[in-house]
Amino acid sequence: MFAFLPTPKTLRRRTFALRSGDYLLRLPRASDFHGWRQLRIRSRTFLQPWEPTWNTDDLTERAFRQRIARINHEFDNGSSIQLFIFLKKSNTLVGGITIGMIRYGVARACMLGYWMGEPFAGKGHMFAALRIVIPYIFQELRLHRIEAACIPSNQRSASLLQKAGFSKEGHLRKYLLINGQWHDHHLYALLNDDHGAKGN
């Protein structure tokens, strides 16, 4: 269902990819800047209610390169995998998905985050990305639990998680600083056992 290419760190970053059907998920590159910037500008009003406040220099090339350096460092140390989602046929960037806060030991868990550009929202792209990422997390990373949190009013995100098999587990008070305010979130989770039982 997906291609995972285990290679030395630097080369592995360049070749790491999850592929399935019409989609390619890979780490951001410097060459992605203009497409990413254009999509984020176009989607700003759509995304801002659900994201941290954008800094004034967030959309600069310098900030993007710093972002890539941080993403590469976290990928190398195994704490996070941040991927851009592309339509394979046209090589069009549509959004991003992050396997973050990767923990092993007694937890063997991670936290999932994602964003979708406004022109591509509601068309099934993020659900398709989840169907690629979830098996990778359970089969290749060998984690036991995937968590995701969303603001209660974000019904689109809640519906997406439920469709992907996640169960609502709790209410987190003032959990994240989103758009300049501390917001409550609903916590959702998917266990490896649940995923296997549902045959996804």
- Amino acid (one-letter) located at 48: Q
What was the pLDDT predicted at 198?
55
Question: What percent of the chain lies above the pLDDT cut of 70?
Answer: 92
Residues 114, 56 contacting (CB under 8 angstroms): no
pLDDT at 197: 54
pLDDT of residue 185: 98
Q: Report the b/e string of 177-200 with b at 16+ CB within 10 A.
A: ebeeeebebbbbbbbbeebeeeee
Residue ranges of the chain with per-residue pLDDT less than 50: 1-8, 199-200
Structure confidence at residue 2 (pLDDT): 40
In the chain, the domains with their CATH numbers are: 9-146 (3.40.630.30)
pLDDT value of residue 13: 74
- Residues 58-117 pLDDT 10s: 999 999 999 999 999 999 999 999 999 999 999 999 999 999 999 999 999 999 999 999
